[in-house]
């Protein structure tokens, strides 16, 4: 299983994720395998459907800290995006993540 981390998100006017800055992570050495790059959310959706794990990274004064795992969300229109799995965590939600400029 490949593990990815998302450092930034792009949100639409309704707060849905439309793009990310992400990269593949070496979890043994706690470093990037491929540095973060901007991608459309469908790339993340496809990775999750393929069985990859995708986690949020939040910026703090002490550096980046891991957050919850992303899961996919499907809308009746057929459009898919991502959201964080589990109960809300104070200051560790999608709207707290850094944004793609």
Per-residue 3-state assignment (H helix, E strand, C coil) for the chain:
CCEEEEEEEEECCCCCEEEEEEEEEECCCCEECCCCEEEEHHHHHHHHHCCCEEEEEEEECCEEEEEEEEEEEECCCCCEEEEECCCCCCCCCHHHCEECC
Domain that holds residue 14: 3-99
What domain count does the chain have? 1
Q: Report whether pLDDT(101) > 90.
A: no
- Rounded distance between C-alpha atoms, residue 34 and residue 17, angstroms: 22
The mean pLDDT of 19-32, rounded to a whole number, is 96
Q: pTM of the predicted model, to two decimals?
A: 0.93
**4 within 8 A of 22, measured Cβ to Cβ:** yes
pLDDT, position 83: 98
Residue 67 and residue 17: Cα distance in Å, rounded? 16
Q: What are phi and psi of 47, to 5 degrees?
A: -65, -40
Specify the pLDDT at position 58.
96
């Amino acid at each position: 299983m490949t593990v990815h981390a998302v450092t930034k998100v792009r949100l639409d006017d309704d707060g849905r994720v439309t793009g990310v800055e992400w990269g593949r992570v070496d979890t043994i050495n706690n470093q990037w395998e491929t540095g973060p790059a901007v991608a459309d959310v469908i790339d993340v959706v496809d990775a999750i459907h393929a069985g990859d794990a995708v986690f949020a990274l939040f910026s703090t004064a002490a550096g980046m800290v891991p957050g919850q795992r992303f899961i996919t969300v499907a809308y009746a229109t057929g459009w898919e995006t991502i959201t964080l799995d589990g109960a809300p965590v104070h200051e560790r939600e999608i709207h707290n993540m850094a944004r793609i400029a």
